[in-house]
Amino acid sequence: PHFIIELPEKNDALCFNINDKPGTIFTLIKDTKSGVVVNGQTIGDKKIPPDGKINTYFWRFGITHKTLRVKLEVSTSDINVFQDSKWMTMYWSNSISLKGTNMDLHVTKDRSLTVTLKDSVKFVILLHKVWAKHPYHQDYLGFYTVDSHLLSPAVHGLLGQFYHGVEYEVSELRPGEVPEKPDATMYVKGHELNVTRGWQRDFRQDIKNGENVPCWFVHSNGTGLIDGDASDYVVSSLF
Amino acid sequence: ANEAQVEVLSVTVDCTVTSRFAHTVMTSVALNKANVSQEIFFKVELPKTAFITNFSMEIEGQVYVGEVKEKEKAKKQYEKAVSSGQTAGLVKASGRKMESFSVSVNIAAKSNVTFILTYEELLQRKLGQYEILTRVQPKSLVQDFKIMTNIYEPQGIAFLDAHATFLTNDLLPLVDKTVTDKKAHISFSPTVEQQRKCPGCDGTLIDGDFVIKYDVNRGERFGDIQIVNGYFVHFFAPPGLPRVPKNIVFVTDNSWSMSGRKLQQSKDALVHILSDLHEEDYFAVIKFDHIVLPWRDSLSKATKENVEEGKTFVRKHHPVGGTDINLGVLRGVDMLVKDRQENRLPERSVDMVILLTDGMPVSGETNTKKIQENVQSAIGGKMSLFSLGFGNDVDYSFLDVMSKQNKGIARRIFEASDAALQLQGFYDEIASPLLSEVELRYPDNAVDSLTKNHFNHLFNGSEIVVAGRLTDNDLDNFLVEVLGQGFEEDYKAEGQASTLDQEVPYPNEEYIFGDFTERLWAYLTIQQLLDKSKSGDPAEKVNATAKALEMSLQYNFVTPLTSMVVTKPETEETGPLIADKLTEEERQQAERNRYQHVPPVFSSYQHTYHAPPTQYVDGD
């Protein structure tokens, strides 16, 4: 999966990929103060593609809000909501709007789920539908936080650690391997990293093609940019 | 003129157009009413596409005639005049379409002076019409004021419209317009009273542009050929051709220098242009600063949905970073090449890249020569590159050469409130290709000294013009052939050209100007040689320059290679005046100086950001 961190104060964005074996569960958000946790499990291609590159994507998210006593399990096939001590299942094939005391949900048929958790976070999960008979690829999900400012300064996770910004500087722009993607040196969190200017896609407006977002790409699973390394974010279960 | 001490006795603009070739004579007679000698100024404006061919002053029975000389020689010969700065200012840029010619001379008390300026140009057909633009600013009331235009078009006049920016309801009926099948006469001749701004006051209403627009009838598939006095001209713009679908990549500058109004205007224009795409066209949008940001990785069919999404992409994003023209254009070219290779584009369609930039390359490859080489090598003759240079910070000649090297053209976009319209206007001119790889063939043994006869495209509303010399002066007719690639099928047309007998279309008409076809041929040849002198290989450049100079001297045209030396009565003391033809670069430089514009410099990545942040994770 590719991660994008938009940084409005710098009018810039950072990006990195996290790759591990399919089935790994990562913590994306963990805010112990508000009790919000978002974990995601990856999936691989149906078989190894001819280029030998193993691609992984998120296919299942587990979302918990301890204080609000809410849980969601969102996968490429269905959406399960735990609220008021009971589970309810919804399907991507219907457009649904639910307004609750602590949580609002809105499903746009076969496309997206918008979740607003009271006084904490708002996010969108996109469903990428792939042709069922595709020899390699299968359905996967995207996770976009659109409002996270109410989360505590202690929020962490692969995405969460960036919700309150990150200090960095980029200099020494130089030609990269590909002419249209120059390299540069980034000073961040006490590290000096070789980064590459490129872009990643935001699929919210155009689910099929996406929209390119220019960003500084941090190589090797975001090493140096994320706190610790990717394995520090691996957990054993969605909840 | 010096207030009431000078009386302008007459101002006459006499324009004759024969088969699009316009010959204009501006005559002004002034009287120094004072009891002492004084300086009288003659200042007129002419289209920048025109070449001055003659200038004379008549003072006390003595005629002083301007002489066209080789520019460098003229400068050496009159070094004294050059060093005292007297060459400056005889011809100056004036707005987008015009340049001004001005001269002053000392006139004895109670004496007359007559100024006569002649210039010629080949009218270009744009968006289905020719335009004759005359700028008139007599500054004071004129005893005898006259604008007269006679148009002779053997193909027949399809429509004609005449208007002026200064025409009030009272002056409107004074525009006399007579159009018959092959001839039009337009005149405007207000009396002194009619010129007055208000009864009894000295101010004149006459100040602005007098514009005539017209088109001719189209009939033959092979076009229309006229043979006069051993020269021929072939006009080709057949009616009823279906447009060829196009695959167009818009490469737009998103760097800092575009911030503010320029970026907004570019966005507005591009959004409008995208709306005008035909559904069978394919398009892509690539923004560049110091990196490139493609909307999508390949071209998309111009369906309603895709166009809307393309527009959303255009509207978004704020300017950042420096200008890497090399990277932006190469990405656009690469996208078209790749889509072609993968058969994603219709076989019979035209590939084009439109580059919009406002600045010099300051990021990535900054050597403009190297960029030209890279682009030419990447394009390899497979598509056309059109460039739009926005504002005064752009190196227009760099874009001009790069476009001409790649089957395209460049256009300057002037920073003003109508910039979005200028951008759309340029696009409209090239939006509808009708034919590609057009070749006009003539019998080898019958013609020589042909102007360019192979054209990459014929666009809707434009016209292809080829002229040449007949090797046999007695030849009365010859066969022509036109070949091209059209939509669905190849285009082929043949026809026979015959000598034009002026007596048939214009009986009882005193002949207009007999050598117009030859001069049209010379004008066209010089223009094309001047182009070649900028964008050909080194040997070609030298040859083209020498030939253009030779012809400019032979036909008395003031071109960028020649100067008109005007000898004044007081030459002994002050030296002669020299009129030069401005190049587009000189015009641009003049504007830069006028606005004292400081080009923005890319120095940092930071600027104000308006969109809310998003942190997300997704697939590729």
For residues B501-512, average pLDDT: 57
For residues B507-514, average pLDDT: 56
Using an 8 Å CB-CB cutoff, list chain B residues near A5: 615
Answer whether B281's CB lies under 8 Å from B247's CB: yes
What are the helix and strand counts (H, E) for chain A?
1, 18
Question: pLDDT-derived band of residue B414, with 50, 70 and 90 as boundaries?
Answer: confident
How far B330 CA lies from chain A's nearest CA (Å)?
A: 9
Q: Higher confidence at residue B473 or residue B565? A: B565
d(CA B98, CA B96): 6
How far B578 CA lies from chain A's nearest CA (Å)?
A: 49
d(CA B337, CA B434): 22
Question: pLDDT-derived band of residue B365, with 50, 70 and 90 as boundaries?
Answer: confident
Decide if B295 and A214 are in contact by the 8 Å CB cutoff: no
Using an 8 Å CB-CB cutoff, list chain A residues near B327: 179-180
CA dist list (Å): A171 to A13, A168, A192, A222, B151 = 15, 10, 11, 18, 64
Decide if B296 and A209 are in contact by the 8 Å CB cutoff: yes
For residues A47-71, average pLDDT: 88
Express as a percent the part of chain B with pLDDT over 90.
43
CA dist list (Å): B404 to A141, B408, B458, B528, B589 = 48, 5, 16, 11, 21
Decide if A2 and B618 are in contact by the 8 Å CB cutoff: yes
d(CA B577, CA B570): 11
- Interface membership of A167 toward B (CB under 8 Å): no
For residues B68-83, average pLDDT: 70
For residues B204-216, average pLDDT: 92
d(CA B80, CA A113): 81
For residues A9-15, average pLDDT: 83
* Least confident range of A195-199, B61-65, B489-493, B513-517: B513-517
Q: Which has the closest alpha carbon to B251: B400, B354, B350?
A: B354
pLDDT of residue B87: 45
ipTM for the whole complex: 0.81
pLDDT of residue B596: 41
How far B328 CA lies from chain A's nearest CA (Å)?
A: 8
- Interface membership of A3 toward B (CB under 8 Å): yes
Check pLDDT > 90 for residue A223. yes
Question: pLDDT-derived band of residue B198, with 50, 70 and 90 as boundaries?
Answer: confident
Residue with tokens 């299968």: A138
pLDDT in tens, A16-57: 999 889 999 999 999 999 899 999 999 998 887 777 777 899
For residues B287-310, average pLDDT: 92
- Interface membership of A232 toward B (CB under 8 Å): no
For residues A56-83, average pLDDT: 93
Decide if B615 and A11 are in contact by the 8 Å CB cutoff: no
Answer whether A206's CB lies under 8 Å from A238's CB: no
Decide if A9 and B609 are in contact by the 8 Å CB cutoff: yes
For residues B572-586, average pLDDT: 70
For B270, the 3-state DSSP assignment is helix
Beta bridge mates, B17:
B22, B151
d(CA B18, CA B467): 14
Decide if B618 and A180 are in contact by the 8 Å CB cutoff: no
Question: pLDDT-derived band of residue A15, with 50, 70 and 90 as boundaries?
Answer: very high
pLDDT of residue B607: 32
How far A175 CA lies from chain B's nearest CA (Å)?
A: 8
pLDDT of residue B199: 81
- At B357, phi and psi to the nearest 5? -145, 155
- What are the helix (H) ranges across B196-240? none
Using an 8 Å CB-CB cutoff, list chain A residues near B291: 180-182, 197-199, 214
Sign of CA dihedral B564, B568, B572, B573: negative
pLDDT of residue B502: 58
**Both tokens assigned to B603:** 């120095």
Question: pLDDT-derived band of residue B604, with 50, 70 and 90 as boundaries?
Answer: very low
Angle at the Cα of B434 (from B431 to B437), degrees rounded to 5? 110
Check pLDDT > 70 for residue B608. no
pLDDT mean across residues, chain B: 84
Q: Which has the closest alpha carbon to B319: B598, B609, B597, B599?
A: B609
Residue count (chain B): 620
How far A126 CA lies from chain B's nearest CA (Å)?
A: 9
For residues B525-536, average pLDDT: 88
pLDDT of residue B50: 94
**Both tokens assigned to B580:** 């030069």
pLDDT of residue A213: 83
Question: pLDDT-derived band of residue B610, with 50, 70 and 90 as boundaries?
Answer: very low
Q: Higher confidence at residue B459 or residue B503? A: B459
Check pLDDT > 70 for residue B364. yes
DSSP string, B292-361: EEESSSS-EE--HHHHHHHHHHHH-----S---HHHHHHHHHHHHHHHHHTT-S-SS-EEEEEEEE-S--
d(CA B583, CA B560): 6
**Sheet harboring B562-566: ordered strands across?**
B67-70, B562-566, B577-580
Q: Where are the strands (E) in B48-129, listed by range? A: 51-59, 62-65, 67-70, 91-94, 98-107, 112-122
Check pLDDT > 60 for residue B180. yes
- What are the helix (H) ranges across chain A? 219-222
pLDDT in tens, A157-213: 999 999 988 999 888 888 788 767 788 999 999 999 999 988 888 898 888 778 878
Burial of B360 by CB count in 10 Å (0-12 exposed, 13-18 middle, 19+ buried)? Answer: middle
Q: Which has the closest alpha carbon to A188: A134, A136, A227?
A: A227
Answer whether A40's CB lies under 8 Å from A56's CB: no
d(CA B570, CA B576): 8
pLDDT of residue B316: 81
**Both tokens assigned to A2:** 């590719």
- What are the helix (H) ranges across B49-149? 71-77, 79-83
